[in-house]
Amino acid sequence: MVESLLEVKNLSMHYDTLDGNVDAVKDISFTVKSGESFGLVGESGCGKTSVAMTLLQLQPDNSVITEGSIKLDGKELIGLSENELRKVRWDSVSIVFQGAMNAWNPVVKIGEQIREAMREHYPENSKQQNINKINELFKMVGLDESISERFPHELSGGMKQRAVIALALSCDPKLIIADEPTTALDVVIQDQILNEIKKVQDLLGLSLIYISHDIAVIAEMTDKIAVMYAGSIVEIGPTQEVFKSPKHSYTRALLDSTPSIRGEKKKLRSLDGEPPSLINKIDGCSFSPRCPTPTTQCKNQSIEMRLVKVGDDHFADQCCSGCVKNE
């Protein structure tokens, strides 16, 4: 039995805004084992990135964690001081942000920017040691050593994103959070980056949390997925199982709206309506207004959101788990 590296329990977080509280993360629990890839999928605004930020305790100042715990390697992260957190970030967890390739400092060479992080975490290393390590990392992600001496504007988007991955790996983390790392890239570059992430992950035995709205990418990258809707996880389980027999009608809708180049060309179904505003308190099932196959119990909104077991290690929200009919 592999031990859980990351254990998130009943995590809830809201943003305090002038218009009221925005419940971005609602009672979320999941675990990531070492070496496992965990996918987080959902529409924009469903709280994926908020979860990622909260995991690293990088959430903005107006956010309030109302309850829950985040345990990394058995150590509670919520409530740690900034100094203690600095040790955890990069050493244990690092993150590849959405559009991270645009986060490079334009006037500092790539190699120096990576060394800056390494100096912080490994003050005892000599410069040469750091350079050697960077060269090794570059080789892993398919970059030439000479890239260290280049400025960000000299690199293409794909190269910058590879360098970001090298940067994320520079302090030997056990867990990498990749938040839409390929969104701004075209398909061929995306494919190369995905390949690189997978290779590195296997090589170093890392755990991965992969966040995306693209269910096809999630299908290829992950062992286990959680589908998020309006701040809650509505379905969670092994990727193959969830794709084979989705139990929540939102998962079903996501699968039905994804075009594929394999198999019969099928009529895709769109999901009408918009996700609910997270400012208003939602009673009952948050998906019921958009659900294509609602039952009477969803409509009267009496039933509470709660995950129930629907298969081996496979859980879905109790309301919608009854709505889906799989052909």
Q: How many Å apart are CA 66 and CA 15, to the nearest integer?
A: 10
Q: Can you read off the two tokens belonging to residue 121?
A: 């975490």
Please, which residue, 111 or 246, has the CB nearer to other proteins?
A: 246
Query: Per-residue string for binding with other proteins, 179-208, x by CB under 8 A?
Result: ------xxxxxxx--xx-------------
| Residue closest to 285 by CA, chosen among 245, 319, 311, 244 | 319
Q: Which of 24, 56, 219, 323 binds other proteins (CB under 8 A)?
A: 219
- Is residue 135 near other proteins by the rule CB under 8 A? no
Q: Which of 20, 29, 31, 43 binds other proteins (CB under 8 A)?
A: 43
- Is residue 271 near other proteins by the rule CB under 8 A? yes
Shortest spacing between CB 206 and other proteins, in angstroms = 20
Query: Per-residue string for binding with other proteins, 15-34, x by CB under 8 A?
Result: --------------------
Of 15-23, 86-94, 235-243, 292-300: span binding other proteins (CB under 8 A): 235-243
- Is residue 265 near other proteins by the rule CB under 8 A? yes
- Is residue 272 near other proteins by the rule CB under 8 A? yes
Shortest spacing between CB 120 and other proteins, in angstroms = 34
Shortest spacing between CB 176 and other proteins, in angstroms = 19
Q: Which of residues 74-133 bind other proteins (CB under 8 A)?
A: none
- Is residue 253 near other proteins by the rule CB under 8 A? yes
> How do 175-179 and 207-212 pair as beta strands?
parallel
Q: What is the 3-state secondary structure (H, E, C) of the chain?
A: CCCEEEEEEEEEEEEEECCEEEEEEEEEEEEEECCCEEEEECCCCCCHHHHHHHHCCCCCCCEEEEEEEEEECCEECCCCCHHHHHHHHHHCEEEECCCHHHHCCCCCCHHHHHHHHHHHHCCCCCHHHHHHHHHHHHHHCCCCHHHHHCCHHHCCHHHHHHHHHHHHHCCCCCEEEEECCCCCCCHHHHHHHHHHHHHHHHHHCCEEEEEECCHHHHHHHCCEEEEEECCEEEEEEEHHHHHHCCCCHHHHHHHHCCCCCCCCCCCCCCCCCCCCCCCCCCCCCCCCCCCCCCCHHHHCCCCCCCEEEEECCEEEECCHHHCCCCC
Q: Which of 64, 78, 108, 268 binds other proteins (CB under 8 A)?
A: 268
- Is residue 274 near other proteins by the rule CB under 8 A? yes
Please, which residue, 5 or 221, has the CB nearer to other proteins?
A: 221
Shortest spacing between CB 116 and other proteins, in angstroms = 30
- Is residue 72 near other proteins by the rule CB under 8 A? no
Q: Which of 1, 19, 44, 327 binds other proteins (CB under 8 A)?
A: 44
Residues that bind other proteins (CB under 8 A): 43-44, 157, 185-191, 194-195, 213-217, 219-220, 222, 239-240, 243-244, 253-255, 257-262, 265, 268-272, 274
